[in-house]
A and B are shown apart, each in its own frame.
Chain A
Amino acid sequence: MVVGLEHFLILSAILFSIGLYGALAKRNAVVILMSIEIMLNAVNIAMVAFWRYIAPVLMTGQVFVIFIMVVAAAEVAVGLAIIIAIYRSRETVDAEQIDLMKW
């Protein structure tokens, strides 16, 4: 079996869907953050696959992936800090309890 672009894209889509499900359905804020990381990495896979199969000369795709990793690391740092702050004030990380934006 020849591994082609579409296989990478299918993997990326599966990972993205898992991440999306986790982000929308899980209650634990830490799990939601992890799910978001999965979605970001699904995008990274797609980026690298496109670079490899469509424009292997230009380094654009790889550079973007590096950028996304950096942003994701920063995001995790900020996200975890927010979750800890919420935990300190509300003693929970259950997303359903965090509803201050309610009407």
Chain B
Amino acid sequence: MPPEVALAIILLPFFSFVIISFVIRPFLKNRPQLSGYITIASIGASLLLSMWVLIEVIKAPGHVLPMPDYQWLVVGDIAISIGVTLDSLAAVMLIVVTSVSLLVQIYSQGYMHGDPGYSRYFAFMSLFTCSMLGLVLADNLLFLYVFWEGVGLCSYLLIGFWFHKPEAARAATKAFVVTRIGDFGFLAAILFLFAKTGTFDIGELHQLALIGALGGTVLTWAAIGVFSGAVGKSAQFPLHTWLPDAMEGPTPVSALIHAATMVAAGVYLVARLFPMFAHSPQAMITVAIIGGFTAIFAATIGLVMNDIKWVLAYSTISQLGYMMLGLGVGGLAVGIFHLFNHAFFKALLFMGAGSVNHATGTFDIREMGGLRKAMPWTFATFLIASLSIAGIWPLSGFWSKEGILAHAWAHQPILFFLAMATVFLTAFYMFRVLFLTFGGEYRGGSSDAHPLRESPLVMILPMALLAILSVISGWLPISGFLGGESHGFFSALASPLALVSLLLAALGILLAYALYSARWLSVESLRQTFAPLHTLFSRKYWLDELYERVFVMRILVDGLFAACHWFDDQVIDGAVNGIAGGTVTAGRVIRRLQTGQLQAYGLAIFIGILAIVACFLIFG
């Protein structure tokens, strides 16, 4: 395989972005559908090339393809070369990114139909895909960081796609600023590593970590810095607040951001630098604790949200927590395996939400219901995705979740119990949404005004494909390919762990059924019983308020900014004004000498001459 193939995978979506931005938008305004076709063609081509790469990587010894390096920058003695990594991790990620992105683009043609920003939308989507592919392939931290920021920029542009809505503009800014806090740590870690080792190359850093030249506190701090970047991008506690707000963007954007690209970037980063993390037990435990805590923390908020996209948003945060937990307990393969499976079923769930919104015009599950008859395809695919995320055998979610749970049981029993509880919560909140949306009777006003219709084929087709992938993606030997162990199709059911988690998931589904479909239990009385908890969850633990009122208003605005303002006002301006004032005052004093009396001047001249003469006589 020629090395240009890897570059072509990155550059094809980039060319699509350039063509749309500089040819179609200025010159072919009345034919915006061309933008969609070009995007789909370029990402489809990237997908085919990615499959070629995957086949080559599978055949290669050790699942690594050696690729040439190119000189990028020479600054003094520092030469930075860039290249691509083609190993099993990158190959799997390429497939995830290109396939989900392709299906999202096809779906977008239906969802974004008639939007005035149609071309702009596809231009950003192309650039987004390009950035993510570059991030996956980069073999160099500096190069990776360029694409990392590219992903951040594109997410800003896409979340704020409908920038005329103030909430969308706010959400985009929030996503950008909150992830920036994490990025700061990442950049600091890159520079710190460079200062200590003199290289940006990921492979060389791994070698240094392996032989122990890079270790101890240096490695731990660097790993934690990198992880803070991942916390921001992958929306882990405490930097998760941007992700639910990001729902202001178009729904296909949510499907792409929360399945395969933006949030996967953080998990992928930790996986890419996994040998470094693996040599620092402190870093590993940090990753595991943050991941495990985020998983259950976000799931509890997801229980009480009434907006279908917000439930999915908190579910994404929770599942990302699972992935981080998997990585933190040493399960590189299972963590990425979960990312792989999650990409498909979560993209499908978001597309389902978009499809429902297309029909009803709302995202509020209290105003839905009974959509099963009107939208059979959406219902069927949503059901498959919900079963998959709940971890029901033999759908894809089961396999990777089992892997993570098994690793957690072996290494961190306390976090294992949190993860187990999350299995129950996940099943409950997904089926709560399912029953409220598709079961019962329609509650959203008269259906004459807004006829409930199934979405067009261009939206249903990608959903059907993703539904198939959500079923079978767990059967692929991804875990073994990435260096983990694989289970037999039926023998996996023999382990007590799997049975317990299946039982918990089934209980979750049953409880949701009892509450929201069969109505054996009253939702109201349950809410009354757990009123304080319900308030806590539905107010999202008051974290937004904490950040906004305490961190931003009190500490930053009242504290730091006020101090800076005082410093600027008093010290900087004071110095400038002081010099000016001093000069004026001195002038006012000294000008008294200018009496205007010519004779006084004469006297001064005479004394001056005497002084000069005296000096001349004494000194020289």
- A residues near B (Cβ < 8 Å) are 20, 23-25, 32, 95-96, 98-103
Tell me which residues across on chain B come within 8 A of A32, comparing CB atoms.
599
Complex Cα distance, B588 from A103, in Å, reads 10
Q: With contacts A24-B599, A95-B598, A102-B594 known, what are 10 further pairs, Cβ within 8 A?
A: A20-B606, A23-B602, A24-B603, A24-B606, A25-B599, A99-B595, A99-B596, A101-B594, A102-B595, A103-B596
Total number of residue pairs linking A and B with CB closer than 8 Å: 28
The interface residues of chain A, by DSSP majority, are classed as loop
Counting contact residues on chain B (CB < 8 A from A), the size range is 10 to 19
User: B596 contacts which chain A residues (CB < 8 A)?
Assistant: 99-103
Contact yes or no, A98 B598, CB < 8 A:
yes
Query: Is B592 an interface position by the 8 A CB rule?
Result: yes
CB-based closest 6 A-B pairs? A102-B596, A99-B596, A101-B596, A103-B591, A103-B594, A24-B599
Closest beta carbon of chain B to A10's beta carbon, Å: 17
User: In the docked arrangement, what's the CA distance between A96 and B596, Å?
Assistant: 9
Please measure, in the bound complex, the distance between the C-alpha atom of A20 and the C-alpha atom of B609, giving whole angstroms: 13
A-B contacts, 17 of them at CB < 8 A, read A23-B599, A23-B602, A24-B599, A24-B603, A95-B597, A95-B598, A95-B599, A99-B596, A100-B596, A101-B594, A101-B596, A101-B598, A102-B594, A102-B595, A102-B596, A103-B591, A103-B594
How distant is the Cα of A20 from the Cα of B595 in the complex, in angstroms?
20
B490 to chain A, nearest CB (A): 106
Q: Which residue of B lies closest to A26 (CB)?
A: B599
In the docked arrangement, what's the CA distance between A32 and B603, Å?
A: 13
Q: Nearest chain B CB to A24's CB is how many angstroms away?
A: 5
Segment 563-620 of B: residues with Cβ below 8 Å from A: 591-592, 594-599, 602-603, 606
Q: Which secondary structure characterizes the binding site on chain B? A: helix
Q: Which residue of B lies closest to A25 (CB)?
A: B599
Closest to B593 in A: A103
B588 closest partner in A (C-beta) = A103
Q: Which residues of A contact B606 (CB under 8 A)?
A: 20, 24
- State the Cβ distance, A34 to closest chain B Cβ, in Å: 14
CB distance from A23 to the nearest CB of B (A): 6
B608 → chain A closest CB, angstroms: 13
Q: Give the CA-CA distance A103 to B597 in the complex, in Å.
A: 11
Chain A residues positioned under 8 Å from B603 (CB to CB):
24
Could you say which residues of chain A place their CB within 8 Å of the CB of B594? 101-103
Q: Quick one: closest A residue to B603, CB to CB?
A: A24
Are B602 and A24 in contact, CB atoms less than 8 angstroms apart? yes
Contact A103 B599 (CB under 8 A): no
Q: Is the CB of B602 within 8 A of A96?
A: no
What's the nearest-Cβ distance from chain A to residue B597, in Å?
6
> What separation, in Å, do the CA atoms of A41 and B597 have in the docked complex?
25
Min Cβ gap B376→A in Å is 97
Cα distance, A103 to B606, chains bound together (Å): 22
Q: Which residue of A lies closest to B598 (CB)?
A: A95
A2 to B164, CA, bound (A): 112
B125 vs chain A, min Cβ distance (A): 74
| Chain B residues in 8 Å Cβ range of A25 | 599
Name, among A98, A101, A103, the residue most crowded by chain B CB atoms within 10 Å (CB to CB): A103
Shortest CB distance B433–A (Å): 85
For A101, list chain B residues within 8 Å (CB).
594, 596, 598
A99 touches B599 (CB 8 A): no
Question: A96–B592 contact, CB under 8 A?
Answer: no
Closest to B592 in A: A103
Bound complex: CA of A100 vs CA of B597, how far in Å?
9
Please give me the residue from chain B that is nearest to A20 by CB atom.
B606
- Given the complex, which residues of B lie within 8 Å of A95, measured CB to CB? 597-599
Q: Complex formed: what's the CA distance from A41 to B184 in Å?
A: 86
Q: Give chain A residues whose Cβ lies under 8 Å from the Cβ of B598.
A: 95, 98, 101
B601 to chain A, nearest CB (A): 9
How many Å lie between the Cα of A20 and that of B596 in the bound state?
19
Within the complex, the shortest CB–CB distance from A103 to chain B, in Å, comes to 4
Pair A96/B597 contact, Cβ less than 8 Å: yes
- A41, chain B: closest CB distance, angstroms: 18
Residue of B nearest to A100 (CB): B596
CB neighbours (8 Å) of A23 from chain B are 599, 602
A91: min CB distance to chain B, Å: 18
Question: CA–CA, A99 to B606, complex, Å?
Answer: 20
Complex CA gap A98/B599 in Å reads 11
Min distance, Cβ B600 to any Cβ of chain A, angstroms? 8
- The docked-state distance in angstroms from the alpha carbon of A103 to that of B596 is 7
Q: How far is the CB of B293 from chain A (nearest CB, A)?
A: 76
CB distance from A71 to the nearest CB of B (A): 19
Which residues of the other chain, B, contact A103 by a CB distance below 8 angstroms? 591-592, 594, 596
Give bound CA distance, A99 to B602, whole Å: 14
Per the bound structure, the CA–CA distance linking A98 and B603 in Å amounts to 16
When chains A and B are docked, how far (Å) is the Cα of A26 from the Cα of B596?
16
Chain A residues near B599 (CB, 8 Å)? 23-25, 32, 95
Q: What is the CA–CA distance of A99 and B77 in the complex, to the nearest angstrom?
A: 71
Chain B positions within 8 Å of A96 at CB level = 597
* Assembly CA distance A100 to B591 (angstroms): 14
Q: Which residue of B lies closest to A102 (CB)?
A: B596
Closest chain A CB from B592 CB (angstroms): 7
Residues of A contacting B591 in the complex (Cβ-Cβ under 8 angstroms): 103
Contact, CB under 8 Å: A99 / B592: no
Provide the residues of chain B in CB contact with A100, threshold 8 Å.
596
A50 to chain B, nearest CB (A): 19
Report the Cα distance A93→B592, complex, angstroms. 24
Rounded to whole angstroms, the CA-CA distance of A91 and B570 in the bound complex is: 54
CB proximity of A97 to chain B, nearest CB, Å = 10
Chain A residues whose CB sits within 8 angstroms of the CB of B595 once the complex forms: 99, 102
Q: In whole angstroms, how far apart are the Cα atoms of A101 and B598 in the complex?
A: 8
Q: B201 to nearest A CB, angstroms?
A: 72
Closest chain A residue, CB of each to CB of B594: A103
A98 contact set on B, CB distance < 8 A: 598
Please name all residues of chain A whose beta carbon is closer than 8 Å to the beta carbon of B597 when the two chains form the complex.
95-96, 99
How distant is A14 from chain B, measured CB to nearest CB, in Å? 16
Query: Which residues of B are found within 8 Å of A20, using beta-carbon distances?
Result: 606
A49 to B523, CA, bound (A): 128
Min CB distance B542 to A, Å, is: 67
A96–B595 Cα distance when bound, in Å, is: 10
Q: In the assembled complex, how far is the CB of residue A61 from the closest CB belonging to chain B, in whole angstroms?
A: 23
B463 CB to closest chain A CB, in angstroms?
A: 89
Q: How far is B600's CA from A101's CA once the two chains are assembled, in angstroms?
A: 12
Give complex CA distance A95, B599 in Å. Answer: 8
Q: Give Cα distance in the complex from A102 to B593, angstroms.
A: 9
